[in-house]
Amino acid sequence: MSSEHKTGLIWFTKNLRVRDNYTLQRAVVDNQRLIGVFFFDPRDFEPTPYGFKKTERFRVKFLLESVAQLRDSLQEINISLWVVHGKAEETMPELIKDFNIQSIYLQKEWTREEADVLHSVQKRLPEHIQIKEIFDQFLFHPEDIPFSEMTIPKVFTDFRKACEKEALVRPEAAEINSFSESNLLLYAPELPTLEDLGFKSFEIDIRSAFPFAGGEKEAQKRLNYYFFQTKKLCYYKKTRNGLLGTDYSSKFSPWLANGSISARQVYWQVLDFEKQYLKTQSTYWLIFELIWRDYFKYISLKYQDKIFLQGGILQKDYLWRNNQNEFNSWIKGTTKEAFVNANMLELKHSGWMSNRGRQNVASYLAKELQLDWRMGAAYFEAMLLDYDVHSNYGNWMYVAGVGNDPRDRKFNIRLQSERYDPSGKYQKTWMEKTLFE
């Protein structure tokens, strides 16, 4: 078939943006006609063995908002987004047939569940359908780092120093040229509602440190505010261990997690800020955190399913316990440690927790209660607005002593509380009963 008649399908997963989207750019270049698709997979909302759903309400609401903005942004360049509440392997063959698709484009993923879904889809497609996967979620592209997949260092510092010295961050993908209006579909399904996905509508808790909506435009608005309007970036390193308020940290992670913004976009905006204003430890530290994010992606790429095993990538054999009552107490914020409880209540009521809080509650579950760390990782997966499979399991392994921390540290919760919440304001904020209990 001649190129002018080629019709492509871009399968959006965790790249819910139009700007700086190399997968979308490739699909646009290759095809005269193009449609997008996004699946709300019912498996993502099923109950887990631990008594909560695989994805709970906060991230679901954020995802719905993100997909709605993606649909609107695609519409502006005359690409329709076909939204499906169903399994990809059951619907994709129909889409391929109905729209005469020749090629499918998607962001390359490698973790188990994502790979299984793609494999299930591939088995049901005609042989002539081309599937083109593109690595597009890194700061440093896999082709540009000074390591092969299997030689990724076990220690972050070694990875960071080598990448800072030898790897370059690629430029943002070119702006997408608009298709003609004839590319738009006459009909496309509506987005499901929270209720359709099995959740009740809710209001954001007034105490939340993350009261923001999902979507590419919201991500850009936040970046512009944090960098250029308020210049809070100048103080990031000093304030990043904060606990209360919207501005102690950048709060980019939920948008990064579902791809409403890319690590490259943040990186180049930091450099732009440094040119316009000043370069400080804080501007560097934000990039430092983006490199940590990359590192955990490379760790999961290297070790694959080992990141989900009890012994982690080190295959260390600890005596883990599996006490549901103690686990439930940790979830509900009724442990012996007030600082742990306050953080767990914040997560329960807002879907957010600070970096400092995450380290403490994870250390408490794994090192004090000695519960299987994967139980905690599963709860974070359900609850966190910014859940990212690589960072979540990478960080949990790290804290549990089965990952990339050569020191196998344990947090002193009382000392942490005294240092980071000396007045008790944070604990009081989240432990007082409110309308949201």
CATH number of the domain at 366, please: 1.10.579.10
Interstrand relation of 7-12 and 103-107 (parallel, antiparallel or unpaired): parallel
- Rounded to an integer, what distance in angstroms lies between the CA atom of residue 157 and that of residue 288? 10
List the domain range (segments joined by +) for residue 259.
217-302
Please check whether residue 141 lies inside any domain of the structure. no
Helix (H, G, I), strand (E, B) or coil at 425: helix
- Rounded to an integer, what distance in angstroms lies between the CA atom of residue 430 and that of residue 349? 9
396: nearest Cα among 421, 375, 420 = 375
Pair (295, 314) in one structural domain: no
Pair (21, 131) in one structural domain: yes
Reported residue count of the chain is: 437
Is the pLDDT confidence value at 387 over 80?
A: yes
CATH of the domain at 250: 1.25.40.80
Q: φ and ψ at 7, to 5 degrees?
A: -120, 125
CA-only gyration radius of the chain, Å: 22
Structure-token pair, residue 415 = 């000392």
Pair (24, 121) in one structural domain: yes
- Rounded to an integer, what distance in angstroms lies between the CA atom of residue 404 and that of residue 394? 8
pLDDT at position 435, please?
A: 37
Four-point Cα dihedral 244, 246, 249, 252, nearest 10: 140
What confidence tens digit (pLDDT) does each residue in 221-257 have? 999 999 999 999 999 999 999 999 999 999 999 999 9
Name the average pLDDT for the chain. 95
- Rounded to an integer, what distance in angstroms lies between the CA atom of residue 3 and that of residue 394? 43
Pair (258, 325) in one structural domain: no
What confidence tens digit (pLDDT) does each residue in 351-386 have? 999 999 999 999 999 999 999 999 999 999 999 999
Angstrom CA distances, 79 to 129, 215, 262, stand at: 21, 17, 21
Pair (388, 267) in one structural domain: no
Of 302, 336, 359, the last residue of a domain is 302
DSSP 3-state percent helix, strand, coil across the chain (nearest 5): 50, 5, 40
Please check whether residue 437 lies inside any domain of the structure. no
Pair (405, 355) in one structural domain: yes
Please check whether residue 143 lies inside any domain of the structure. no
pLDDT band for 3, please (50, 70, 90 cuts): very low
Is the pLDDT confidence value at 434 over 50?
A: no
**pTM for this entry:** 0.96
Is the pLDDT confidence value at 1 over 50?
A: no
Scan for tokens 């008649």, then name that residue.
5
Please check whether residue 166 lies inside any domain of the structure. no
Please check whether residue 76 lies inside any domain of the structure. yes
Please check whether residue 195 lies inside any domain of the structure. no
Pair (314, 296) in one structural domain: no
Is the pLDDT confidence value at 294 over 60?
A: yes
182: nearest Cα among 331, 35, 56 = 35
256: nearest Cα among 224, 202, 219, 217 = 219
Q: How many domains does the chain have?
A: 3
Please check whether residue 111 lies inside any domain of the structure. yes
- Rounded to an integer, what distance in angstroms lies between the CA atom of residue 385 and that of residue 255? 9
Could you tell me where the DSSP H helices lie in 249-365? 253-257, 263-276, 281-303, 324-332, 338-350, 355-363
What confidence tens digit (pLDDT) does each residue in 175-203 have? 999 999 999 999 999 999 999 999 999 99
Pair (276, 339) in one structural domain: no
Pair (337, 288) in one structural domain: no
Q: What angle do CA 294, 385, 246 make, to 5 degrees?
A: 95
CB of 347 closer than 8 Å to CB of 383: yes
Of 82, 117, 136, the last residue of a domain is 136
CB of 144 closer than 8 Å to CB of 168: yes
pLDDT at position 406, please?
A: 66
Range 49-60 average pLDDT = 96
Instruction: Please tell me the number of Cα atoms within 13 Å of 139 on its side-chain side.
Output: 24
pLDDT at position 407, please?
A: 75
What confidence tens digit (pLDDT) does each residue in 389-416 have? 999 999 999 999 999 886 778 999 999 9
Please check whether residue 89 lies inside any domain of the structure. yes
pLDDT at position 248, please?
A: 97
Of 302, 336, 353, the last residue of a domain is 302
Pair (324, 277) in one structural domain: no
Pair (32, 126) in one structural domain: yes
Q: Tell me how crowded residue 368 is: count the other CB atoms within 10 A of its CB.
A: 17
Under DSSP, the state recorded for 366 is I
CATH of the domain at 67: 3.40.50.620
What confidence tens digit (pLDDT) does each residue in 308-360 have? 999 999 998 899 999 999 999 999 999 999 999 999 999 999 999 999 999 99
What is the distance of C-alpha 156 from the center of its chain? 20
Pair (327, 275) in one structural domain: no
- Residue 85, judged by CB atoms within 10 A of its CB (0-12, 13-18, 19+), counts as middle
What confidence tens digit (pLDDT) does each residue in 105-152 have? 999 999 999 999 999 999 999 999 999 999 999 999 999 999 999 999
